[in-house]
Every structure is written in structure tokens, then in C-alpha cells.
Chains A and B, each alone.
Chain A
Amino acid sequence: MPVSLPQPHPDAAPGYQLRVVQEVLLALLAKEPSYGYQIQAQLQLALGPLADALNGGHVYVTLNRLEKAELVVSARVRQGERPDRKTYELTPAGRERVRQWLADTSWPKPAPAEFHLKLVAAAAAGMADPVAIVDAQRRALLLGLRDAQRAALAEPDGSVAGLLLEGVVLRLQADLRWLEACARHWSAKEER
């Protein structure tokens, strides 16, 4: 039976990102029930330098939401003098959701439609030079590429976080190539 997710938190970034994080937490619970901090640790290991996007609170907040959506159940564990800890465990519905997610092949945001429309709109409105916009964006992406690359090089060989960074680098490279094509197109258009 399809379960609808709760509406995303108003401060959170829109769209897919949050969903990914939710399914990831579910998947990390699939092997065995775990404490919240264990999940957190696994995420940090996998994300490496990018893990600072996730603060600790984020994980627990998400776990709560998942509990409300009846995809996980929690249980209190008494620890004597120390405060109680919660363990989390997948429900059958949650397990089913994980299976679906693992089999899903949709790929996030293939086309930079927003930026493309930004250029078209700028040219139409006459408010800014599209080529200047492209150049500015290029610079930003180049800086990003530089940083991502540095981070990637700093990772030891075969690290799983390094693999993620390589993906970042390659994506940025592809974006930069497209920006180069944009620059060519819009400067040719100007000359006409």
C-alpha cells in the first residue's frame, strides 16, 4: 500500500535531496537495528568531506519522521545512570520501500534547464549579457572543481568517499563543457 511521505520541512532544500537521505537511512537499518549515532557514523564514513552537510540533528529528525510514517519503529534502551537511548528498526513496509528504492533507476536532474532559461530570459529582458552570466557561472564552477579535485586528491586510493568526489569532479567538468558551448552560442548570437 503506497505511503505518502510527510511534506518536506519548510527550511530544507527542495526536491529530491531530502528523499535520498530518507531512503538511505532506511537502507542503513536493513541489516540490523541500530542506534542513531551508529547511522550517523556510517553516513560520515561514506560521505567523507561532504559529510558536514549532515548535522547530527538532521539524522534524528529524519528518523522521527520515518517513525511517524511507520517505516521504522523505535525502542527505548535503558542504560542505568546515562540517559535512555533509542534503537531503530525497519518495519516490513520500510523494508519494502528500501527494495523499491534500490530497484529504482531514475537519475537526478540531468538537464540544467534552470540555467538555460536564465540565459534566455536575460537576453530577452535585456537586463544582463548572457555571455557575462556564463562567464561568472564558469568561474564559480571552476572554483568548485578546484576544491572538489583537491579534496579528491587528498583521499587515499580506493576510499569510497573519493569515489563520490570523483563523481563531483566529472559532473562539474561536464557542466563546464556545456557552459563553454553556451558561451560560444551566445557570443555568436551577439555578433549577428
Chain B
Amino acid sequence: MGRLLLIARLALGDIRRRRLQSALLVVMIVTTTSTLTLGLALHRVSQSPFEHTRAVTRGPDVVAQVGSGPDSTRPSVAQLAPLRHAPGVAATAGPYPVARARLTAPGASVAIEAVGRDAAPATIDRPLVVAGEWVHAGGVVLEKGLADSFGLHVGETVRLAGRRFEVAGVAVTAAYPFYPACLPALVWTTRADAASLAGRQPLGYVLDIDLTQRSATDAFLASPAAGAFQDATSNEPSALQAWQWIRTDDYRLIALNQKAMLVGSWLLSLLAIASIAVVVGGRMAEQTRRVGLLKAVGGTPTLVAVVLLAENLLLAVAAAIVGLIAGDLLAPLLANPGAGLLGSAQSPRPSLSGTALVVGVAVAVALAATLVPAIRGARTSTIRALNDAAHPPRRRPLLIALSARLPLPLLLGLRLVARRTRRTILTCASLTIAVAMVVAVLAVQHRIQLTDREQWALFAGAAVGARATHVMLLLSSVLVALAAISATFTAWATVIDARGSTALMRALGATPRQISAGFTAAQLLPGALAALAGIPAGLLLYELAGGHLGNATPPVLWLVAVIPGTLIAVAVVTAIPARIGARRSVAEVLRAE
């Protein structure tokens, strides 16, 4: 017991003494774990929302519709009758009357189809009311995509074919692609209201069909009964839609979102891991030294390792918990798969395995941060561990010779980069990931813009485009923030590591501004590489995630602008460490070393 107390005291004392560094490590791990949690949540959510919606709303396998086009003659319910008893049909619901009309409201004017439904829930196609209530006389239930696109809420007044209706509710269905995946938009009213909405136009009819074999839609559509239906209604607009087609229509629209989220979650996790590597690598040197110190004052290697482990575990687990909570809170913001569909069966709460994974990652980080210095410290002699840095700076003759020909800030910057190549590579990697994400976002943005123009020129407000953009922006902000933190950390580590040689350069006559420029250059060099590598990487990422560049490649201007954008961002982030590092007291440093 006393031993445990001792270890706890030593570990806590260490943490308290080096508050800034502990805080930094905690921030990194929190960001990492929260993005991991987020990534896992998004991943879960991106799995088959349509199937989920279909299950919840008892979506039909096939929808047969006749009439209610502008050219329809008098369709009759009788045309749908043969389908009700066709082979392979398990059950049907309807037929329901369908009327075409125009919905107008402040800021909205859109063609709709109103389907007249009963108050009681049907056996097939039971739209899920997510706001308000189901149809009643004088009340209209809007499809969710429609409501979200135009910002219509329960209780507002809208006009259908000039007649005033109250918005009774908002519902989700799998029987019809959501707005704006398909025109016209869908609303539900009572049968009587639908009939009256039709006015002088002939009423159409829709029948929901459930098959005995739910996925055998192809067979059904090729069956003689279906063929007879098509022939019988050849003079009128009619449709036989399988649920897979509805899904395709839906997904075409939300595919962008899905891809964005999937890609985003991979990237977040990757970047998180790269950042951790930077942080752990940065602490390694100093940890090895501390192992040496503890040994020198009499700690056995085991005690030393245990104290280090306890310290890192404490920080890591605390950070993991915070990260889990943060990711949990953030997930609902992003985890909406598309306006007209429900999320996955589980709400995006962390599952048990997910939580275990996140905590496991944090513990792994703690272990990694402990094991290597502890082993190294146990192996090397105490004196060496105290005297040498964990690894002395590397010598790169080519870079040194090259830097001699460059102006002073680049000379300093290049030599700083050459000293610690591993750290530079890690920084470059994390920056590349961030740039790649930004480029992928640009590609998606461009695609949305093009698609908007091409396909949905009729619509006011590309709601889906806006949502996808919203998601992408949020994701890229997180990524960029993480990369910025990582870059700042690296800048600080470089400043501290090069303290002695910086003081020397100033004694030899380098001005503070030149030193500061040197530090910035040391970060800009990997930044420039990251920008150059990130552009093709981002485009590749977009392709891999299923986007097609083709003629939708983002304009060259946008892509080229990424380079100075990255450089400016890196320069801003490293400005403060650079400035502070350049203005330390020279005498103090030289005397101490």
C-alpha cells in the first residue's frame, strides 16, 4: 500500500511540476480520442440509413402508381386491381388517391403530389411522424425533406392549389424518394382533401405492394402481371417502382454526405495517430532524461518505469474520458445521414466496443510513451541518460552544404529541419493529411456546385448541397485545428531543442528577426511539401471515396490557392513560438549550457 502511495505521489508531483507539458499532452489526446469517437459514430451512422428507415416505416417493396400526370385521362382504380392478387404479392395497401398541386408559402413555391391517407396507420407504408401529428381535415403532413428544404414548421399555414392548409406534421417515408431527390415533392392529406385538391384534374392512384420475397423485385417487375399493368396503362403516366430504385434515388443525393463522412472519419483517425506520434516522439527525449534522473537519485529501473507509466496513464485515461464525452456531444451535429432518412438503429452513442477501442488507444499511447524511454533508460548508463539527449541531432552533409548557399533564414531553417528529420517527417505527414482533406472538400464543393446547376436548377436553395457543405466544413475545421495544434507543438519543440545553437547564432551575429524567420522557415519547408503532396493526395482521396473527377475537377485556381493558403496558415501558427524563441536572453542560455 505504501508503495502505491509513493508511486502516486511521485507521479502527481511530476505532473504538477510540468504543467504546461502535461496540459499539452492532454489536449492532444483529448482531440485524438474525440475525433476517434466522432469517426466511429459517423461510421456507424453511414451504414444503411435507408434500410433502417424502411424497417421503421414498413416501407413497401413495390409502389405502383397510375395517373396524376398533366396528360392523364381518367385513370381508374380498376387498373391497379390485377396487381393486388398477382403471384408473388404478399399484401397490399391502398389504393390511395393522389392529386397534383402547387404548394406555396412565404419563400416557397413547389410542385407537390398529395396522397390521401386514412387516419389509422396502414399495414404497409406507415410514414413516421417526426413532428406534429398525422393527417386530419384541413391539415397537411409534409415530407421531411420538403419541410427542411423550405424551413416549414408544424402550425404554419401553406396554400395547396390556392387553398389554405395548416401544416399538421412532418413525416419520413421509404416509399418515395425524399425531396429534393425526386420531383414533385410528397405531402399527405386526408382522402377527402386529396380528392378536393384534384379539382378538375383527374385523380391518380397509388398502391403499396409487399412481396412474398422482399428482395425479388426484379422477378416481380418482369412477371406477366406487371407486364399487363404496363400495357393497360400505356396511355397514361404510370410507374412501378421497386424499393431499390427509391434507395438509389435517395442515395444519389446523400452519397456526397455519406462519402464525406466516411472519408472524414478515416482522415480524422489517421491524423490523430500522426499527431500522437509527434507528441510522443517529442516527449521521448525528455522522458529518457527523467528516467536517468530518477535512477541517479536511487530509483530502481522498475520503480522508475512504474512511475512514468502511472503518470502517462493518468493523463491518458483522463484525456480519453474527456474525448469520449466531447465526441459524443459532437456526433449528433454531424450524424444526420440526409434530410429524409432516419439515422441508424442505435443513436450515435458510443457502443461498448467503440468506447473500449478509444480507451484502448489512449492506454496504448500511454504505454508507448512510457515503454520506450523506460527501456532505453534502463539499458543505457545513468550518466549517459543524463548527459546526452535521447538522440543527438542528425548530421546531413548534403543539406548542410546546400543550406550554405541559401539566404540566412533558409540556411537556419534547413539546418533546423536536418537536425530532427523524424519529427519533420511526422509534421509533414500530419500537414499533408490536413491539406488532402481540404482539397477533397474543395472537390466535393465543386461537385455540388456543378450538380446543383445541372440537375436541380429548378430548386430554390440547394438544401442538400448546403448540408453536405456544412458537414464538410465542420470536419475540415476539426482536421485543420488538429493539424494546427500539431504544428504549434512541433514549433515549440524545435525552439526548445535548438535553444543552445540559437543562442550561439545570435552571439555570432544573427539578428532576432533572422532567427525568427529561420524557425518559421523550418516549419514552412515541411508545410510546402505538405501542400504540394496534399493536392494530388486530396484528389486521389476523392476518387477513392467514390467521387468521379472527370470533368468535375476543381478549378486549377482553387487548387493552386491551397499552396499559399497552407503556407500562410503554418506561418501564423508558428509565429509566436518563433518570436519567443528568437528573443531569449543569449547570456542566460550560453551560461547554462
Q: Do chains A and B touch in the complex (CB under 8 A)?
A: no
Residues of B within 8 A of A (CB): none
